[in-house]
Structures are given as C-alpha cells and as structure tokens.
Structure 1
Amino acid sequence: MTALTKYQRIEASGLWRASPEDQRREVIVSIGDATLMISDLRDRALTHWSLPALVRVNPGDWPAIYHPDGDPGETLELPENEGEMVAAIEKLRHAIERRRPKPGRLRAVMMAASITSVLAVGVFWLPGAMIDHALSVVPSVTRKDIGNKLLAHVERVAGPACNAPGARPALDRLAKRLTQDGLRLSVVQTSVFDAAMLPGNLMVLSSSLFEDHEVPDVAAGHIIAEMLRARDTDPLGRVLSDSGMFSSLKLLTTGNLSDEALKAYAETLLTRPLADLPADILLEGFRAAGVKSTPYAYARDVSGETTLPLIEADPFPGEAPSPVLSDGDWIRLQAICEG
C-alpha cells in the first residue's frame, strides 16, 4: 500500500475507447485504491479498472496499450512521454503477478487494499456504500459471468431454457427491435413470473408471455418495463443487497460471487413482487421503443381499470411505427418451448 500511496500522486494523459466501435477520446489517468481511474478532461470519472485484472497488449512497444482482462475491446493508450505512469503501472502489475502463485496472497493484497480504503474513507463500512463501490469497479465481463451463473441457478428453479429450432434468431431479433444495448434474452417454461433482469444485460422471460397471448406486444411490454426497472436499480446491486456486505467484499477481492449466494438469490428472485413503475415512465419507454402500450395494459389487468392511463395515453393509439416481430418470428416464439 506504500507503493499505491506513492503512485496516487501520478497523473497522465492518454487515449481511451469503450469499445471498438467508439472513437478514441483524450482522458486523464490516475491510480486509486487498487484501481486505475480514467476521467474526462473535466475530471468526470468514466471508468475504473482493477489493477490486478489489467493486461498490457504490447510489452516494450509504444504507445503502451492496456485493456481489462477479458475485455480487449475497451482500450487505453499511453504515449511514450507518459513513461512515469507506464512504469508505475508495470511495477504494480509485476508486484501483483509475483504474488499470484502463493496461495491466498493475492486475496490478502486485495483485502488489504479494501480495508485501507475503508479506514481512509470511513463510509465504506456502510453496506450501501460498499455495494456502490463494487458496482463502480466491476467490469462488464464479470457482470456477464455472474449473470450466466445466476441464469443456471434460475433454470434449476424454473426449468431449463427453451430452445426450439429457429427460436433463438427470432428471440435475438426481438431484443434488437426493442433496444440497441446488446440485451440478451432467455426463456424458461414457467408461469411463476413474467420477466427478470439479471446482471450482464441478461433477461429471463416466462414462456407464458409467448404462449398465452395473441400478439408479441405483451412480451415486448414486459421487456420494456423490466429494462426500465433495471435502469432505476442495477440488477447486480439487487444481488449484492440480498447477499449482504460480505458478498460485496468477496466480489471486490476475488471478482466472484459464491454459488451459495447466487443460488439463494435465484430462489427468491422469481417470486418477489415487481416494483410498480409510474405510468408516465412506462409510456415514455413504450414511446422510445415504438411499441403500443394497450396490449400490455390489458394483459396486466383484463378490465383495464388499474392500467387505464396506459390505455388512454397509448403513444400509438393506431398502429405502431413498425411491428414488434414478423408473423413468422412470432409463430416461432409461441412454440419456443416445444423443441
């Protein structure tokens, strides 16, 4: 931690991009508590990278190029004139690497970093603050891994995922029709719940959304509503809140959550009541996605009494700008669990 404290005084400028499709942008790089902090020129944090999970693409060459372990699409370039920062990063990376073969040492180093952060800031003793800190530093590849593991536990509770021939491309087209954020959809044969967002932008749906309704707008409505809930409350944050502060600490120090914590969360996830969303928020979500709200409203309440605002203020009282799905894709999804 003496070395970390020393290097926390170093700042450098570099070029960062979030994905291969994005343009590189100039950023300020500094070293925090076991993290590499990347900020824009107005000192607004863009992302945090865990030092133990940092990979250099081109050792010995310039500019030095780094990315988080498991996510080569997000890169940081440091020019040769920022050699002091590169030397600091390499020294810390090599120090961490020397400790990897020794059982328990890496965990101890990261635990010490977390404990020092707690003592220095104080607020991290609070479970909520610990969760917020974890959510700010966990990379997308870790979120996807947790989501996939959680889905396996959900399948043990609700049944295996449905994969009738031809249904997967139709499901992918449904996700792309509603959002361009890389949403992944999975369907299980159950009527216990409608939709649940998991970490890593993964949503699990009930087969009843396709089997029990005449139009795809109902399934689309549940997907839109759950995406709005996830925007309001991070799905990984829900897992950590249910699992307790020590799960957040384990995620910070090892990059994983225990199977026991994920299993316990899966057993309660599908039966808990969904948070109600204000009608104006829902209507804006339907408007942005180009989907009628009336079919979803009547699916929730066949009388329409409790969902009247969604019916009266339907953003598309006539026809939506484009169909949610083609007739062929809708037929495939109605039979997704028959394969």
Structure 2
Amino acid sequence: MTALEKYQRLEAAALWREGPQAQRRDVIISIGEATITIADLKDQPLTHWSIAALTRANPGALPALYHPDGDPEETLELAADEAQMIDALEQLRSAVARRRPHRGRLRMSIIGGFAAGILALGLFWLPGALKGHALSVLPQVKRDEIGARLFAEVQGLTGAPCVTPGGTRALSLLSARVTPEGRRAPELHVVRSGLRESLHLPGNILILGRAVVEGYEDPEIPAGFVVAEMQRAHARDPMDRLLDEAGIGAVLRLLTTGSLAPETLSDHARSLLSAEPVDIGPAALLEGFQAAGIQSRPYAFARDITGETVLPLIEGDPYPSGAPEPVMRDADWLRLQAICGG
C-alpha cells in the first residue's frame, strides 16, 4: 500500500489519555508498518494502536480526536498544527476502508494496510511470523469481541450457561478469590452439557462443565480446575490457538478487517469442545496454586484418586496445612453447586 510506505516513520506531537479517569499526557506518535506507536517525551513506547482499528471521533473537526475501534475511552488528540500527521492518518484509514470486504460476501482480502506491511517485511510466506504479528497488534477490545462471538458459538453446542442469582454471584467470588493481585479475573461460566472439565476463550472467558461444580464436596476442587485453566491460558494465548487452527487466511482477514469469519469461530468451538485439556507440567500448576492461595492436593486427587499420576502436586502442595483463607463460604458453595438446578 503506497500510502503506508509514504508515511512510515512520520512523527507528531499529540495528547494521549489512557482512560476517562487518566490525565492527558504529552506524547510523540509515529506511524510504523501496521501500527501507530505512542511514546512519551523520552521516546519510551507507551502503547501501540492498530491502524486497521483506528477510528476518528470527530471527522472534519479540529483538534482531531482518535480512538481504537470499540474503545472510545482511550483517546489521542492532534492539534491543527499537526496537519501533516492528521492527513496521513486519514489517508491510511481511507486506504484500509477501501480494502474491507463488502457486506454479505465471505471472502478474505490479501491486501490492505496490515497485509502490505507484512509483505514489505518479507513475512507473507512465514505463517508463524504473520500470526505472531497479528497477536502483537490485536487490541484487547478486539480480543474481547472475538471471545464473545466464540462463546456464542460454544453455546450453540453446550446450551446457554447456567444462571441463578446466588450461583452467578458465587462464580464471581470464586474468580476473584483465585486471581492473583494485578491480574484480570476471568469471566466464569458453567454449562450444562458438552464440556467435561474446562476451557478458556479469548477475552479471558473461562467455562466449566457442570460436573466440576456438582461432582465434588470441596470448593477447592473447582477452584483448582479454574487455576489449572488459567495456567493453560497463561502458557498459551487462547487467541494463538484459534489462529493456529484457523490458518493463514484467517490471520490475513483479521489483520485486514479486524474480524474473523463465522465459519472460523464455529469450527474452533467444535474443536475446543472435542479436545482433551492440554497437559501442563506440575511446576507450572504448583506456581498457579501458590499464586492463587489454594491447596493443590484436592485438585490432584480429583484428577487421580490413587495419587499415582499426580504425586508432584500432592507432595509439592504449597499449603499442606490448609489454604490461608477459605475459597468461599459454605452458603456460597451450596449456591454454586445448584447453579444448574442441582
């Protein structure tokens, strides 16, 4: 894309606000080969925005106000005297828009802002590198959107998640209880059928089969399943797994349009539900249990009542005398066990 090549490494001063409660900061922005880099005045990168997901909040008005697609609370403001940068961003946005697929057609484009940038780098024939680039520039808001769409496909196979006022609250308490400080707590759901244990979707959505909450008497066991699934997601980004299964065509579509075809998501939903949980080593599991503040032994015996195949989790329990604090109150545990109607 000649527009991209023309404006690569163009820089301008701007005001950046990370969120509605944050102060506006003086920054320097530059155009790269697929992203806009936002750096502080010491040239330390603060964040990267995808050119394909760039939206202007006030077309034709000055100062120009931009935000990532779907996330209007993070803003970038360019004054009228940065006309060259404003013109460059508008040219790039127009170029990407011309290459978006027409509504109703199931086709993928191999040209556009991101694909051209990757071609310029000589990575078009390297699927692994192309996928890695897609993962690095994909905004969190897009990950959340894709995760929600994928969850809808999963529900087509498992049925809607179980919901009761008390059970839903208990799930939220469980999620917060096992999430280490500083990390984003997963959005927990329980489904009635189609899932034996657990799985993790992009957007930090974690799903449990009803047997995980109904089949045990100790709340530390479902807590252990949650911790194990969080460690799987930490070891391998669920978005990476999706793109790996979908192939290079889906990666190019994501880079060009910021979305994935419905067929890609439905195929991946079936794949996730039919696959066995990915095995992770005891060291990673014990690290997760330590950070979550729960015992590993209850989970270990739930996986193997003889203890033979899970001996490292039993012997390496970070809290052999009991967790520092209960996973949840008895009343909340009973509500959680009844979330699918008993």
Taking a change above 3 Å as real, the CA distance of residues 318 and 52 of structure 1, as seen in their structure-2 partners, is closer
1:76 partnered with 2:79? no
Counterpart position of 2:140? 140
Q: Identity over the aligned pairs, expressed in percent?
A: 47
Q: Secondary structure at the residue paired with 1:175?
A: helix
1:237 aligns with 2:240: yes
Map of 1:328-339 to 2, 5 A cutoff?
A: 328-338=331-341
Deviations 1:114-173 (A, max 9, x none): 442243111232111121122122222221221122112222222321113422222122
What corresponds to 1:158 in structure 2?
158
| Partner of residue 221 from structure 2, selected from 213, 218, 221 | 218
Q: For 1:119 and 1:94, locate their aligned partners in 2 and report how far apart those are by CA, in whole Å.
A: 20
Tell me how far apart the structure 1 counterparts of residues 56 and 317 of structure 2 sit (CA, whole Å).
Answer: 49
1:9 matched residue in structure 2: 9
CA displacement 1:234-263 (0-9 Å, x = unmatched) = 111111111111111111222221221111
> Could you say which residue in structure 2 is the equivalent of 1:304?
307
1:259 paired with 2:241, answer no
Partner of 1:277: 280
| Residue range with higher mean Cα deviation, 212-221 or 17-26 | 17-26
Q: RMSD across aligned C-alpha pairs, in angstroms?
A: 3.0
**Residues 98-117 of structure 1 aligned to structure 2 (within 5 Å):** 111-117=111-117
The correspondence of residues 90-105 of structure 1 with structure 2, limited to 5 A, is: 90-93=90-93
- Cα distance, 1:289–1:21 mapped onto 2, change above 3 Å: farther
Q: Which amino acid aligns with 2:86?
A: V
- Closer, same or farther in 2 for the Cα pair 1:184/1:249, shift >3 Å? same
Q: For structure 2, which runs of at least 5 residues remain unmatched after alignment?
A: none
The residue matched to 2:124 in structure 1 has which SS? helix
- CA shift, 1:183, in A, is 1.6
Q: TM-score, normalised by structure 1?
A: 0.87
Are the aligned partners of 2:35 and 2:49 in contact in 1 as well (CA < 8 Å)? yes
| Distance change >3 Å, CA 29–CA 206, structure 1 → 2 | same
In 2, Cα distance between equivalents of 1:272 and 1:43: 42
Query: Structure 1 residues 75 and 216, CA, compared in 2 at 3 Å: closer, same or farther?
Result: farther
The counterpart of 2:211, out of the listed 205, 208, 231, is 208
Change (3 A) 1:215 1:17: farther
Tell me, yes or no, if structure 1 residue 287 matches structure 2 residue 257: no
* Shift in CA distance, 263/100, structure 1 to aligned 2, threshold 3 Å: closer
Corresponding residue of 2:174: 174
C-alpha contact 1:52 1:96 (8 A) present in aligned 2: no
Q: Following TM superposition, by how much is the alpha carbon of 1:51 offset from its aligned partner in structure 2, in angstroms?
A: 4.2
- Measure the CA separation in 2 of the matches of 1:285 and 1:233: 14
Contact 2:30 2:36 (C-alpha < 8 Å) held by counterparts? yes
- CA shift at 1:74, angstroms? 2.5
Where 1:37 maps in the other structure, the secondary structure is strand
Q: Distance in 1 between matches of 2:257 and 2:89?
A: 20
Say whether the 8 Å CA contact 2:100–2:256 is kept in structure 1: no
For structure 1, the 5+ residue unaligned runs are: none
**Helix, strand or coil for the counterpart of 1:275?**
coil
CA 1:211/1:100 → structure 2, altered by over 3 Å: closer, same or farther?
Answer: closer
